[in-house]
Structure 1
Amino acid sequence: MKIAFVIGAPVTHSGHGVVSQGMTWKKGLEERGHEVVLVQSWNYYDWKSFDAILFFMHNEFVVDYINAVSKVNPNIYYAPVLDPDFSIFMMKAISNWGCSRLKIYNRYYKTKRIFPCVKYVLVRSEFEAKYVEKGWNVPKEKILKVPLSFNLKPEVTNFERENYCFHASYLADARKNVKRLIDSAKKYGFELKLAGKLRNSEEERTIYSWIGDVKNISYLGFLSKEDLLSHYTRAKVFALPSINEGVGIVALDAASMGCDVVITNLGGPQEYYNGLATPVNPYDIDEIGKAIQSCLNGKTNQPALQRHIHENYSLQKISEILENAFRN
């Protein structure tokens, strides 16, 4: 098959989550013999030549793009990549609020127009599926769950673990909740190692002000793939207590590499672990700290967690789901 991938927003930084998802799916489909074209807006394409056209992200640009392309080719698929921080009721309300004639509307208002044009809406979790079904009134039969796959798998599994907690993300991003993770390490005294990109000097000052002069917390910088792998194979625990997270591929990779995982109990991430990760209220410093401390002190779900991830979220398995959807 010949498949087009269209992303709905400019990519302003490396490590972009939607780009990572798209490039991983591209790799998996190409390994199964399909051609995947990354669409560039300045280029002309023979849209009729594609067996499937997959749009990523949600905004007005994507809505207009889908409406235009669907008139030429009906094989439209849509992965909105929703990480909502509001209720399903609010999604339903704002999706219906507005007035086209007066041009009074929000970025969700026009979305309902495209679903008659879309064969499947691809979601990453049941949590996301509920927003699509109940917030946008999309029929269940048009919603297909396509989980994300892990990116890393160890060649061996019996690593010698060190007694520290590891976290990697855009550290100053409020939704990653790093301030509370740091505060929990200060209160409970466990060793915490932080990695990730700081995009400017203001973010750097913020992180160092949160850490202060305590000795059990360190910032490692933006790590190379080799250094990242090193910490995934050495850390006993990986923590991702985000207040808003779609999946959290870093935690999925950490589990695949043998870390125990402490994960937010909000949104879709905890669905991936089948009860083998420790969910926490991300607003509760004590709950975060006690969960991490418990894992560091001997509580573990490994190697059962690693086995669960490898059996259910391999790229081969996810690519097969995508392939079957496009062949429908």
Structure 2
Amino acid sequence: MKGGPTYKILMLKKHLEKFNIIIDLFNQWEVDSVKNYDIVHIFNAHSGVYHFAQSLKLNNIKYIVNPIFFSKHSPMKIRLYLYFLNKISNFLNGTISEISIVKEVCKNAELIMPNTIEEENIIKKGLGLFNYNYSTIYNGVEKRFLYSDPSLFIKKYKIKDFILHVGHIGAKRKNTLRLLKALKTINYPTVIIGNVLNNKEGQKCLELIKENTNILFLDWVKHSDPLLESAYAASKVFVLPSLYETPGRSALEAGLAKSNIVITPFGGTKEYFSNYATYVNPYSIKKIQESIINSINSNRSDNLSIHIKQNFLWEIIAKKLKTEYEKLLTL
């Protein structure tokens, strides 16, 4: 499965091309070719694109940026951090930090396109970029998950209406260890789909999975595999209690497939799931337990699926982005 930014690029490319927009993926060995394009769209404001963005600015080539920036720290702490970093850099021959790079790449863009309004507020208040052009472009979801058929998964594994979690097991941000500890006292069928990272947390997670007889563990299922769609549709509850998500692609897919969603409140998830999901404190095992149990006991509803269909299909996201491109070309 492609990582978040790469997946977003490919999905937007696919749907923008339906509007007869010519989209080429950047080749770092053909830097001079960018002069032939009307707009350069950068995804992820990090050190790997810093010099490229600087070059675009020097050559008066318009670019827009999806920063993909999130911090659990308050805007005040971010500002103080930047202040001290700037002071220190004077003694370190102009060494620039990752957070300073985010600011510089955003500052020189014609348009800043955060994934959420929450991200926009962090950039404005934390990085001090108030008087700049912003337009929120949300992450999307493929329409195929709306038509997911639960029968494929049910026939293969003889299980339905279960708790489902999909993700990298052992990644600290994904918080799988706390989830598995919460599941120890919930006597309910559970399916975990994901690859186990080769680290201490990953091994601890694997031990808990093996100890829990309620858990069916499946190694990574390809994103294109109909079995994944079917797993979403066959589940009763999809749980993603990460430390933060922006917004959690798997949760969007599961929500479109009509599973009840339990998810972190951090990272802008409420802008996607509104009041159609259960938000859980990811630092509390007890709260994770309670939220899962409440969702098990709640009836299924089409409300979240309808909400996602109306607002977050890639076709809708691409259409808004097309409008932003057109606005930029008239400047």
Is 1:144–2:135 an aligned residue pair?
A: yes
The percentage of aligned residue pairs carrying the same residue is 22
- Is contact 1:48-1:73 (8 Å) kept? no
Q: CA deviation at 1:40?
A: 2.0
| Partner residue of 1:106 out of 97, 107, 113 | 97
- Is contact 1:263-1:270 (8 Å) kept? no
Aligned CA distance change for structure 1 residues 203 and 290 (closer, same or farther; 3 Å):
closer
Aligned ranges 1:14-25 → 2 under 5 Å: 14-25=1-12
Alpha carbon RMSD of aligned pairs, Å? 2.3
Aligned to 2:157: none
SS of aligned partner of 2:239: strand
Aligned CA distance change for structure 1 residues 157 and 221 (closer, same or farther; 3 Å):
closer
**AA aligned opposite 1:133:** K
- Is contact 2:169-2:197 (8 Å) kept? no
| Partner residue of 1:51 out of 35, 38, 42 | 38
Aligned to 1:216: 214
- Is contact 2:182-2:288 (8 Å) kept? yes
SS of aligned partner of 2:118: helix
Aligned ranges 1:26-45 → 2 under 5 Å: 26-45=13-32
Q: Residue deviations 1:62-100, cap 9 Å, x none? A: 222111112224311011111323222222223332235
Q: CA deviation at 1:16?
A: 1.2
Is 1:257–2:244 an aligned residue pair?
A: no
Larger strand share, 1 or 2:
1
- Is contact 2:76-2:126 (8 Å) kept? yes
Q: In terms of mean alpha carbon deviation, does 285-294 or 133-142 score higher?
A: 133-142
Q: Residue deviations 1:124-177, cap 9 Å, x none? A: 111111111111222365111001111243464786792211111111101101
**AA aligned opposite 1:179:** L
Larger helix share, 1 or 2:
2
Q: CA deviation at 1:280?
A: 0.6
Q: CA deviation at 1:34?
A: 0.9
Aligned to 1:324: 323
- Is contact 2:171-2:202 (8 Å) kept? no
Q: Residue deviations 1:25-81, cap 9 Å, x none? A: 111111211111111212244222211101111223322211111222431101111
**AA aligned opposite 2:124:** E
Aligned to 1:85: 72
Question: What is the TM-score normalised by the length of structure 2?
Answer: 0.87
Question: Unpaired segments of 5 or more residues in structure 1?
Answer: 1-13
SS of aligned partner of 2:246: coil
- Is contact 1:84-1:244 (8 Å) kept? no
Q: CA deviation at 1:294?
A: 1.6
- Is contact 1:237-1:292 (8 Å) kept? yes
Aligned to 1:304: 303
Q: In terms of mean alpha carbon deviation, does 132-141 or 203-212 score higher?
A: 203-212
**AA aligned opposite 1:166:** L
Is 1:117–2:108 an aligned residue pair?
A: yes
Aligned ranges 1:214-253 → 2 under 5 Å: 214-224=212-222, 225-253=225-253
CA distance in 2, matches of 1:168, 1:133: 33
**AA aligned opposite 2:296:** L
Is 1:165–2:156 an aligned residue pair?
A: no
Task: Give the count of matched residue pairs.
Answer: 314
- Is contact 1:126-1:145 (8 Å) kept? yes
- Is contact 1:95-1:110 (8 Å) kept? no
**AA aligned opposite 1:136:** L
